Amino acid sequence: MSHQLFFLCPNCLAEDQFIQNRCKSCDAKIDIQPYSVTCGKKQFSIAEYYQFLLKHLSVEQSAHFRSTDAFPDALRVSDVATLRQGKTPVAIRGYRGWFNRTILAPENIAEGHLIFEEGALRFISPEKQWYFPATKITAITTDSHYLEFKRRGEPFFHIHFHNESALKYEILLRKWLQQNYTRLNLGDICEFQPHIRTTSPTPGKRIWQISPGNPLPESATEKIVKKLIAALLRLLLRPLIRIRFEGLENWQPDMPGFVLVNHQSALDPFIVTAFLDHRIAFLTKASAFTHTTQRKFLQWVMGIPTTRYQHDSAVIRDIKTMLQQG
């Protein structure tokens, strides 16, 4: 399996060739650390290496590693991958009963290869193929280890690359889409998610239903259960991580209400809830709520499901409504 971030050799630009701390293509020594990578005399921080990927990763597959023989019109052919699509409705009742929302959980629909052509993507399996014209793709991002994108008018698609990085294909898909927009004189893309845009966004429609009345109060049993779970999380996490909170002088735990934050790591809600306070709400990708256990925990820590395909202004407006009413 290719490394999710470090997959392009700085020395020879070969992809997915890092084996036992060496590049299989040019034999350069590779030293991958949690926050950096070194190849020969070249050392990159994560931010520097990401910029290196943006500059040097090419949509057209290298002739030395070409796997397009069976597809003569292809610019690039992926290794084996699984295609998934949002299919199963999942109802969410969040913020102590204040809002209701339905999201789609993805299901596996095929195993095959992703094909890049000049004006379209294809996903080809032994039984069927899917066709994605460049002008019909409306969003591109990654979700955990999946490439995630949307075709106009349909639920989202996921692609799980068995031996390659989802980030690699997010970068490739962005480059490929911009090349097509340039070729068709459609303008420069300024945003790839929550929606492909060539101009600044405008406010979107509401995506939640706000329930009337006050939020449901916490019962004594619920408070006890939350304290027990937080204690268990601290017991599990304390030997594994070191935690430092900044700005605690501004934290007022006796005040009513809650604090709303965005988060980067999937572990953030667990850590903050266990070590600080469970009344900190998290803006969380809606797809994280498709797993039953995760959903229960995220509802407890006031995870607020957001979607990559709607405007954030809708989420912010509904959060303001909740704050105004309790």
d(CA 85, CA 83): 7
Q: Which residues contact 10 (CB under 8 A, 6 or more apart)?
A: 28, 37, 39, 40, 42, 44, 52
CB atoms within 10 A of CB 84: 19
Q: Is pTM beyond 0.85 here?
A: no
Q: Where are the beta strands (DSSP E) in 213-264?
A: 259-262
Q: CA neighbours within 13 Å on the CB side: how many for 108?
A: 8
Give the pLDDT of residue 319. Answer: 67
The tokens for 249 are 């002088």
The tokens for 141 are 């991002």
Give the pLDDT of residue 93. Answer: 73
Give the pLDDT of residue 77. Answer: 92
Give the pLDDT of residue 258. Answer: 60
Residue 76's beta-bridge partner residues?
A: 116
Domain assignments of the chain as residue spans, ordered by start: 1-57, 76-183, 209-242+253-325
Please answer whether residues 22 and 53 qualify as being in contact, where contact means their C-beta atoms are separated by less than 8 angstroms. Answer: no
CATH for 76-183 (1.20.20.10, 3.40.50.300, 2.30.29.30, 3.40.50.10800): 2.30.29.30
Intra-chain end-to-end CA distance of the chain, in Å: 48
CA-based nearest residue to 139, from 294, 2, 4, 285: 285
Give the pLDDT of residue 108. Answer: 95
The tokens for 313 are 């202004």
Give the pLDDT of residue 151. Answer: 92
Give the single-character DSSP code of 75: S
pLDDT per residue over 253-288, tens digit each? 677 666 666 666 667 777 777 777 766 777 777 777
Give the pLDDT of residue 159. Answer: 95
Parts of the chain with a pLDDT under 70:
1-2, 62-69, 94-99, 201-217, 251, 253, 256-266, 278-279, 301, 307-326
